[in-house]
Structure 1
């Protein structure tokens, strides 16, 4: 663990992985890293000016329960007492890097949220300097900063404040739906003006005036003896999540991914008040669109015609036809050609038309017999199946299919662990890794360097690396890309290197995050994709059909099979 001002990440950290059964893609890791860079700038200002901040909300759950991000979370929440919050933004306006953006009601005319936000820019940035600084993340990201506002000790006074706040929020809702001339709105505005001793415009400036008034109501309690605080918007609208002010006055350090963050010393009291049993994982739909950079990713793809940071299936050029012919098909084509020429050779030999005709006929017969024997062996002989796992920790995902192969007396099984390389966001290929010594090897394992792939031409090759050079965190030798391996087998089988939990709905982040892992070269190129769950299979078929077009649905339905139904 390192302090935020010494923030760094290993190449390993950026690789796709599964946490708690949830797939976390490489770009989400880069997005997280960029958020932590923003947090490090916030932390510098806070340390310079003795301002206290604390991990809060979902980020606090992640810190305590996961020692990092909740796997299906993609924002970073911190809190400050209102006085510290105001001091922080006063200094931030002068001290943040010039490309950063401050979002508060005071700083941005169109901003309406009851919290502050610091972002690392305002638009997608593909410049190398930016990508290097933010670990390959081109998207706008940042940190949400919640002010914790005081609650009046006088419950009647506090209830009156809540009523005023809710009236303003109701006015905002009516204005957005029905405009400034609505009779209910006009009556409500009179009530708001009287209750808050203010005057509101009745024109296009009204929306902004209401937001400014709401902000004033949220932070109005400055009583020195106030005993409780809350995220005031939530308190006013939902009447919960208040805490003793002391909770936000004392903190301690806690590990978070590769670094250290500050949490309230009384975090258990805080989280229990917010969420009840916060240590129990609850999955399902998120509170906001996941991933939060999804819209930016879509805009980038629309602008460039593809996503430059991962593989993009091109609907226009996609073809269900195999990129390289199968050996059995080539043998049958050769056999057909020999049969087509034999009649002419037989006629020429019987009529003595050519001195070489009889020799050519004999050669034709011999070649026909050889090819027929090869075809017979291909169809009815013992099958050669080659498994090509990559990382030792991924072997468990491939092992069930491997066991199926070794238990089949008609299958001759080989296993060759393949090497891989680290990559970075600039496309540089780094250190080579070979994990074959980490596998629990048996008699079926053999050396990558000793196996004659072209000479043996396995009937089936089983792979688990999906990227084909389309990842910015790892790659394998070019000759082991799925498209290349089609040359050396009649059936290329892809089985994902990760086992994930089933999604509970189409909007479940489990399903959304997995789309990135589904849209991969090996999935497109393989003859068969073997999965272990009916729900995951349905998701693959649905996602790939959406990408390639409805006419391809039957192709995916035939190609993507369950492990229990796959036969060598």
Structure 2
């Protein structure tokens, strides 16, 4: 049975493999979210954390998607809605083949559930409130278009309106999503504000704080992050140097329930 530390060290190796692809292909990335918080506050993983998060500006994200799978090889699977049919999120996860990171309640959702590393694209956000709403609606619509597999697997109620939507052939819905990306993936270089694509566009940052990068120690190596990480972390977490109460130190299980994590066994073995 893997300990939390075993899982963290495995994900550290995943990070190093992804960073090598970035370095070899002149692709810029930044440690972000809890990974960056861990680097600043703990010099590595937050002691109770169990994943890796990185940001890429939109141009670097697109460049990575072009070379990532071939460069990473058979060891990994580059997962997004274009490569994994029932996946519906608008960011990319790197999954390690032959491993498991699977919330028990999602076990019937037939996507790749290997150990994962998240890559979130940074996109521009308009100062115009109506245009912001349009961008958020476009993101929500894309997710809804592709969510049917997830909803069925988790036993969620599907409204009559949504059932009608899902009668549209998947390939057409996927083509609509691709066309609609132009309303979501805005070039951050053209806007003074930006956001990372996640379930929603909620936290808005000044684009300028991502202009310059530095190296920061994370575990046993140095990795790239934004030089203005203090401003970023304050926007995201507030008083980020004060750890949460012990009752809140539970990694992703607090959001997703029980998670099977195994660095040596393929997720299909758990499903079967």
Normalising by structure 2, we get a TM-score of 0.75
On the 8 A contact 1:172/1:210 being kept in 2, the answer is no
Give the alignment partner of residue 235 of structure 2, picking from 261, 269, 273: 273
On the 8 A contact 1:105/1:212 being kept in 2, the answer is no
Change (3 A) 1:91 1:276: same
Q: CA deviation at 1:113?
A: 2.3
Q: CA deviation at 1:97?
A: 2.9
| Cα separation, 2, equivalents of 1:34 and 1:211 | 37
Where structure 1 has 5 or more consecutive residues not aligned to the other structure, the ranges are 1-24, 125-138, 190-199, 305-568
Give the alignment partner of residue 133 of structure 2, picking from 139, 142, 159: 159
| Cα separation, 2, equivalents of 1:47 and 1:75 | 21
On the 8 A contact 2:88/2:147 being kept in 1, the answer is no
Change (3 A) 1:217 1:201: farther
On the 8 A contact 2:49/2:252 being kept in 1, the answer is no
Give the alignment partner of residue 253 of structure 2, picking from 274, 289, 293: 289
| Cα separation, 1, equivalents of 2:205 and 2:79 | 26
The equivalent of 2:38 in structure 1 is 62
- How many aligned residue pairs are there? 246
On the 8 A contact 2:134/2:183 being kept in 1, the answer is no
On the 8 A contact 1:81/1:147 being kept in 2, the answer is yes
The equivalent of 1:95 in structure 2 is 71
| Cα separation, 2, equivalents of 1:168 and 1:97 | 29
Q: CA deviation at 1:80?
A: 0.6
* 1:62-93 CA distance string (max 9 Å, x none): 00000111011010111111110110121112
Change (3 A) 1:271 1:169: same
Give the alignment partner of residue 47 of structure 2, picking from 71, 83, 86: 71
| Cα separation, 2, equivalents of 1:122 and 1:162 | 35
The equivalent of 2:109 in structure 1 is none
Q: CA deviation at 1:26?
A: 6.8
Q: CA deviation at 1:167?
A: 4.9
* 1:281 partner SS: coil
The equivalent of 2:224 in structure 1 is 262
Change (3 A) 1:201 1:89: same
On the 8 A contact 2:69/2:76 being kept in 1, the answer is no
The equivalent of 1:426 in structure 2 is none
| Cα separation, 1, equivalents of 2:175 and 2:98 | 25
The equivalent of 2:118 in structure 1 is 144
| Cα separation, 2, equivalents of 1:94 and 1:173 | 28
Q: CA deviation at 1:244?
A: 1.8
The equivalent of 1:246 in structure 2 is 208
Does residue 12 of structure 2 align to residue 47 of structure 1?
Answer: no
| Cα separation, 2, equivalents of 1:59 and 1:287 | 12
On the 8 A contact 2:80/2:91 being kept in 1, the answer is yes
| Cα separation, 1, equivalents of 2:223 and 2:183 | 27
On the 8 A contact 1:165/1:214 being kept in 2, the answer is no
| Cα separation, 2, equivalents of 1:98 and 1:67 | 31
On the 8 A contact 1:251/1:265 being kept in 2, the answer is yes
| Cα separation, 1, equivalents of 2:54 and 2:140 | 25
Change (3 A) 1:173 1:59: same
Where structure 2 has 5 or more consecutive residues not aligned to the other structure, the ranges are 101-112
On the 8 A contact 1:99/1:121 being kept in 2, the answer is yes
Higher strand residue share: 2
The equivalent of 1:226 in structure 2 is 191
Q: How does 1:133-532 map to 2 (within 5 A)?
A: 140-167=114-141, 169=143, 176=151, 177-179=156-158, 182=160, 184-185=161-162, 202-203=167-168, 205=170, 209=174, 212=177, 216=181, 219-222=184-187, 224-236=189-201, 239=202, 241-283=203-245, 284-285=247-248, 286=250, 288-289=252-253, 294-297=259-262
Root-mean-square deviation (CA, aligned residues, Å) is: 3.6
| Cα separation, 2, equivalents of 1:41 and 1:292 | 29
Larger Rg, first or second structure (1 or 2): 1
| Cα separation, 1, equivalents of 2:21 and 2:242 | 35
Normalising by structure 1, we get a TM-score of 0.38
| Cα separation, 1, equivalents of 2:209 and 2:260 | 36
Change (3 A) 1:166 1:218: same
On the 8 A contact 1:112/1:211 being kept in 2, the answer is no
